[in-house]
Amino acid sequence: MTQQEYEKHFQESCSLRDAFWRSIGKLDADVLAPVINPALRGGARWPSWRQAWVTVRTPQTTIIASDGLSDPFDDLSEGEDGKAYNGFGLELYVRAPGDLAAVNESWEFDLLYQAAQLAADQGNFWAVLKKLRYMTAELYHVGVPREFQNPEGCAGALLGLPSDTIPAETALSLETISIVNVKLLTLRELEYAVQTGKGGREKLADLIINQGNPTYSDLNRKSVI
């Protein structure tokens, strides 16, 4: 891929992602981004270095989504099959009920931020998620109450729950990417998922889906376990 081709795909991918979120709700004009890129301090490197998050508002919810995990790789390299890719092939989102103010200071943003860094750090994240269908993660530095944290201080999240209103995929300039929900778990739910493996994650997902609003993250939600 030439530099000119990269710039073309980068701009098209950004425009298509914005259009996707505008089809869901009202996209905030301000994009959240770190003052200093965490990759410069030893953190995970995103495909085009750019790390950003967007906020989408609907009448019932506030959605925060990663914006950059699916940028084309800026090193202009191609995969072994000769195909260029839209980064890691996915973007993540957290969905909160109601109108969330001060998004960048919220625990919901913490949850998404840490999940996105995990996805960037593990380059095969998309392939593992596709294979497992659902994934759990234990995430540090999430500002939830202590009762949501395990003894190591991590909050639990379940990734991959389906939404009735947010499509699971969208087409960008180079390929179709996954749009993946990140849901806060109660401590009991996290412990259950860790103890029971793949079968337990699937049962947990079914219980959460049957509870209603499966993609919402809410401190007041009752545990299904």
Give residue 22's pLDDT band: very low, low, confident or very high (50, 70, 90).
Answer: very high
Please list the alpha-helical segments (H only) found in 82-164.
Answer: 107-121, 125-132
Top-confidence residue, 183 or 125: 183
Query: How much is the mean pLDDT over the chain?
Result: 92
Dist CA 39 CA 16 (whole Å): 25
Provide the pLDDT for residue 78.
58
Give residue 77's pLDDT band: very low, low, confident or very high (50, 70, 90).
Answer: low
Please list the alpha-helical segments (H only) found in 23-151.
Answer: 107-121, 125-132
Provide the pLDDT for residue 67.
97
Helix (H) or strand (E) segment spanning residue 61: strand 61-66
Q: What is the CA radius of gyration of the chain?
A: 17
Provide the pLDDT for residue 133.
92
**Does residue 91 have a pLDDT over 70?**
yes
Per the listing, tokens 């869901």 go with 24
Average pLDDT over residues 68-89: 79
- Cα separations (Å) of 72 from 35, 83, 139, 162? 22, 11, 26, 26
Q: Sign (positive/negative) of CA torsion 7, 85, 13, 54?
A: negative
Q: Are 179 and 159 in contact (CB under 8 A)?
A: no
Dist CA 23 CA 76 (whole Å): 30
Dist CA 215 CA 218 (whole Å): 10
**Does residue 79 have a pLDDT over 60?**
no
Tens-place pLDDT, residues 110-154:
999 999 999 999 878 889 999 999 999 999 999 999 999 999 999
- Cα separations (Å) of 155 from 83, 148, 171, 199? 37, 6, 32, 21
Dist CA 76 CA 81 (whole Å): 14
**Does residue 109 have a pLDDT over 90?**
yes
Q: Are 112 and 68 in contact (CB under 8 A)?
A: no
Tens-place pLDDT, residues 37-76:
766 677 788 999 899 999 999 999 999 999 999 999 987 6
Provide the pLDDT for residue 224.
97
Give residue 89's pLDDT band: very low, low, confident or very high (50, 70, 90).
Answer: very high
